[in-house]
Structure 1
């Protein structure tokens, strides 16, 4: 049903647009697929298989019209870590399990929850991943030999510095040619993919001018097969599944976040709207099937999706065509890929890292010098120096604590009285003074959510300002949008305290807090006749309940009625005095 909607208003005139965009994106995806696979610690052909299978399935089954799926740079540190720890075979199983998780997330409609991950966290780990990718290509760019790859960032940096003396001039020259070509191509011929041209030019230079001087895909990984591999069902055991649940969950979460971010950007570029849950299901199915062909985990690729849109894509057909183009290249040109120097792949990934670094946004958030900038910095540093899992966990906890603190600061409880100078005698918080306050009625303005982060302050404010024990406590709660069970428990404690010697009345209670009070029984404890829609009604009710004798001699005049009550109280006193004599 949703696929039909994505092809709504599709016509034969739209086919050439999808063909052109699919062809261009497919050509761009070829060097990226191989580069991402190599950087992830696996053979380059696995990146090609992923581009083909996942690319077609994500476009066919996803929830976005324009999404291009495949291996991405964001996955590199995660997949490399899994390969180093568990091996390639177990990476395949982890990817399969991640696909199941993504599918379940979509089925249970969790797609909308991922968008609530705070921006400082996403920018922090995205920039951290970019730094990891960029530094990870320095060794290939310089042609260093004897390098041992580590999962830890610091150890990888140490390897580079220790082996700087093994730098290969020809590798640097090859990488330089590729990098310059990638940078200049968009300026000279904007519609031609720079990474592919850079790869071709640098490969030709290395092959004809200094053959055998640089490491190539062929010398490092062997010849790339010109066919898709046979389907292989991974061997699953309970022990293996338990061991790989954590890395699989990390893959699923990162894949879900990146795919939905990419879909949101596509919506903004095309004024369309994707289905987040359907997108997760499509991503999940693709990641369940791709490992059967030896492919690595895939997700929505932001840069390729944007390129797809800019080149006129109209429907998911462009994404399907992009996968078919890569398949045809594999079938007819795979043997030639063996001549590609590894030094040519490094600049491609460096440019990808530079583009995904979100450096401008990072700088903007960091300059705020706020708690958000602290969250951003911590997430970034943990991503680089520890791992992405820890970074996201700590970032989310920090964001949650900061949110609670901010909501606590927003919640304000303060004494208030009617402003006699205001036309409608608005109840203001700045009216209470030592000489202008009602000894029998305490009115409090409560503003903001009454939840666990603010409940204690709410209780302390009320209890510390009513040591003279007024008979009536009026809570104005029209600006309390939300109340949780902790807020309800604190309110119940206050009600029980005041019910011993007085009453509690509430005005302006909103729907959500009222439902909470109804469910817990506190509404009935307070009494239905003690709830008022308007504060004026509540004040009139309170004035009827007060002890009129205590108004005698009172000079506070907190309410309009106080003058009359004080005067009548004085007159009654004079009558009693004259009757005595």
Structure 2
């Protein structure tokens, strides 16, 4: 048996460097520096929300971002820690510990690389969009819920991982609300919504400022990313006013100013067996997120279409490496990729610059990070969660079929109440069952003519395991047909046939044979004809095929 060839390892960077110009380099440096600054608060926020130290997110963004840019199959995608992983990582840390998270991440990296190597990148496209929207919205709700502790300044030592216990824990401690923390978090969220609208082309604020002499300086300010503006201004306000709020320094003791050391997690095959489910979850979610992000990049940029298999191999290498430096799972990130594209990126060099910019900022300004209030980072994550969810899809449900509604709503609810793994499994099972039902409804057997002992029926659609029950009434009819009946099946509209459908036809032929009857099939298309001949059933038909 000839196996399909393995995917070749060809990073997009090699192709993009051909004919690379100084003009493109300038655009990539500008875009990369912009994204690097944007990634700073997000990387810290994602790590803290996942139950890890902030440096875990920062060095994941640096190391994984660099590797994904250099080895990936897209021109402008930015890799790093993502909001979609928060709920999964937090659950793994709570149940198995940080050391086992590192093992699961490295194992998921190996799986991702093998998925790309064996050309499985295209399979991710078969995940129904209703399932993707359902679990994306569910994750957004869980991210928002997980940030209530820091947003409200509640004195909760450790938040539980499941939905109902989180609600109960917050409700029991709501009397400890810190108004200063809540004010900082609320101002952060409001500012993140207002900042880009202030500087939009059609805003009244922008039109009034156009008449001032300092417009050039103000326009330079407008190019600052909203999360960075919120982080700097609110951190300064909290520090200058000496507000009684929890910060990175008070909870984690600050961020180390040196690069992380290479360390080996405590590895054993017994541990790996325990982590099968978390590993599969991280690998599947990483593949879906990275390839969805790559598709978004294809739509927004003028760069060549992404190579899904190369992208999965790059994601695999990144996730296999970062755990040895204390990192967390990484994937393609839509928000930072879109920022990269809008900033003018033309090649993976922008992703490399993004990682280097972030490394310089971390190494040079790590001591300042200890003053960042956790309530501000919570506000950033609430904004991320809001933008992550596709909330308009709930309003549009009335325009879609009941099948679509069932898959999306059930995936959404199961993601919130149970976990993402169960939600994706349920969504895919529902998609399979509903697809089988839809296809079985398409298949039908229609009478055409009856001339003495010759009866003609016509088959439509696909005769497969989900539709064979529609052959049973015809078989029952032939049990009472006159002896010597000749049944002709017009198969010119039969699209496909599987072995279960073939078995139903054989039973029909045997029923006729018992009453000295015969079965003919006409107009067979290529696939049904090939199966009938290979199975030997063709010799039992009249006349033989």
Q: TM-score if structure 2 supplies the norm length?
A: 0.91
The residue that corresponds to 1:477 in the other structure is 491
State how far apart, in whole Å, the 1-side matches of 2:178 and 2:290 are.
38
Q: Does residue 1:261 correspond to 2:292, yes or no? A: yes
For the 8 Å contact 1:182–1:198, the answer to whether it is kept is yes
**Residue in structure 1 matching 2:532, options 495, 504, 517:** 517
For the 8 Å contact 2:475–2:511, the answer to whether it is kept is no
**Residue in structure 2 matching 1:502, options 492, 507, 517:** 517
Which structure 2 residues correspond to residues 432-451 of structure 1 after superposition, within 5 A?
437-451=450-464
Identify unmatched segments of 5+ residues in structure 2.
Answer: 1-9, 200-221
The residue that corresponds to 1:242 in the other structure is 273
State how far apart, in whole Å, the 2-side matches of 1:90 and 1:250 are.
14
For the 8 Å contact 1:439–1:468, the answer to whether it is kept is no
User: Deviations 1:509-551 (Å, cap 9, x if unpaired)?
Assistant: 1111122112211123326x445xxxxxxxxxxxxxxxxxxxx
SS class of match (2:455): strand
Query: How far has the Cα of 1:459 moved from its partner?
Result: 3.2
State how far apart, in whole Å, the 2-side matches of 1:266 and 1:293 are.
29
Q: Does residue 1:287 correspond to 2:294, yes or no? A: no
**Residue in structure 2 matching 1:80, options 90, 94, 103:** 90
For the 8 Å contact 2:143–2:381, the answer to whether it is kept is yes
SS class of match (2:329): coil
Measured at CA, do residues 479 and 136 of structure 1 come closer, stay the same or move farther in structure 2, by a change above 3 Å? same
User: Deviations 1:91-144 (Å, cap 9, x if unpaired)?
Assistant: 111100110111111111111111101111111111000000011112211111
The residue that corresponds to 2:4 in the other structure is none
Is 302-311 or 93-102 further displaced after alignment? 302-311
The residue that corresponds to 1:296 in the other structure is 328
For the 8 Å contact 2:11–2:70, the answer to whether it is kept is no
User: Deviations 1:25-49 (Å, cap 9, x if unpaired)?
Assistant: 1111010000000000000010001
State how far apart, in whole Å, the 1-side matches of 2:35 and 2:493 are.
52
The residue that corresponds to 2:51 in the other structure is 41
Which structure 2 residues correspond to residues 268-347 of structure 1 after superposition, within 5 A?
268-270=299-301, 272-347=304-379
The residue that corresponds to 1:425 in the other structure is none
For the 8 Å contact 1:129–1:383, the answer to whether it is kept is yes
State how far apart, in whole Å, the 2-side matches of 1:335 and 1:32 are.
18
For the 8 Å contact 1:63–1:282, the answer to whether it is kept is yes
State how far apart, in whole Å, the 1-side matches of 2:264 and 2:85 are.
23
**Structural RMSD (CA):** 1.6
State how far apart, in whole Å, the 2-side matches of 1:89 and 1:182 are.
35
The residue that corresponds to 2:409 in the other structure is 377
State how far apart, in whole Å, the 1-side matches of 2:223 and 2:474 are.
65
User: Deviations 1:68-95 (Å, cap 9, x if unpaired)?
Assistant: 1100000000000000001111111110
User: Deviations 1:333-384 (Å, cap 9, x if unpaired)?
Assistant: 1110000000100110001100111111233236536122112111111110
Query: How far has the Cα of 1:407 moved from its partner?
Result: 0.5
Q: Does residue 1:198 correspond to 2:209, yes or no? A: no
User: Deviations 1:136-175 (Å, cap 9, x if unpaired)?
Assistant: 1122111111354101111111111111111111111211
User: Deviations 1:460-517 (Å, cap 9, x if unpaired)?
Assistant: 2454377334622111112222111101111111122223423222122111112211
Q: TM-score if structure 1 supplies the norm length?
A: 0.85
Q: Does residue 1:226 correspond to 2:257, yes or no? A: yes
Number of aligned residue pairs: give it: 510
For the 8 Å contact 2:99–2:266, the answer to whether it is kept is no
Query: How far has the Cα of 1:24 moved from its partner?
Result: 0.8
State how far apart, in whole Å, the 2-side matches of 1:231 and 1:495 are.
69
Q: Does residue 1:403 correspond to 2:403, yes or no? A: no
SS class of match (1:115): helix
Q: Does residue 1:155 correspond to 2:170, yes or no? A: no
State how far apart, in whole Å, the 2-side matches of 1:310 and 1:35 are.
23
Measured at CA, do residues 109 and 343 of structure 1 come closer, stay the same or move farther in structure 2, by a change above 3 Å? same
State how far apart, in whole Å, the 1-side matches of 2:496 and 2:438 are.
15
User: Deviations 1:5-34 (Å, cap 9, x if unpaired)?
Assistant: 344543222111111111111111010000
Identify unmatched segments of 5+ residues in structure 1.
Answer: 418-436, 532-581
Q: Does residue 1:464 correspond to 2:470, yes or no? A: no
Work out which structure has the larger RCO, using CA pairs closer than 8 Å and 6 or more positions apart in sequence.
Answer: 2
The residue that corresponds to 1:167 in the other structure is 177
For the 8 Å contact 1:504–1:530, the answer to whether it is kept is no
The residue that corresponds to 2:206 in the other structure is none
